[in-house]
């Protein structure tokens, strides 16, 4: 069963993916705005270095994949 592209779950998945992209690219402000739209919690997110940004981008993508698997 596919995800309805107009559903709240599809928006959440898309926003997680966008957040990971923007954080990895260095546009933290935009990425954090997308995270706020998801209602997901990423405590103690430190984006002060490239390494930390990449780490958190991976954590967001991991959550994206996990939710994508569970919404099928």
Q: Where are the domains of the chain?
A: 8-70
C-beta separation of 52 from 31 below 8 A: no
Contact 31, 23 (CB under 8 A): yes
Phi-psi sector, 26: left (phi>0), alpha (psi -120 to 50), beta: left
- pLDDT score recorded for residue 66: 95
34 vs 44: CA distance, rounded Å: 17
> Helix, strand or coil for residue 27?
coil
| Whether the model pTM is above 0.85 | yes
pLDDT by 10s per residue, the chain, length 72: 566 777 888 999 999 999 999 999 999 999 999 999 999 999 999 999 999 999 999 999 999 999 999 876
């Amino acid at each position: 069963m596919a995800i309805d592209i107009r559903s709240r779950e599809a928006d959440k998945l898309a926003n997680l993916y966008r957040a990971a992209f923007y954080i990895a690219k260095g546009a933290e402000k935009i990425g954090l705005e997308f995270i706020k739209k998801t209602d997901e919690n990423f405590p103690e997110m430190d984006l002060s270095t490239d390494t930390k940004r990449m780490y958190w981008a991976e954590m967001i993508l991991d959550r994206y994949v996990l939710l994508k698997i569970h919404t099928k």
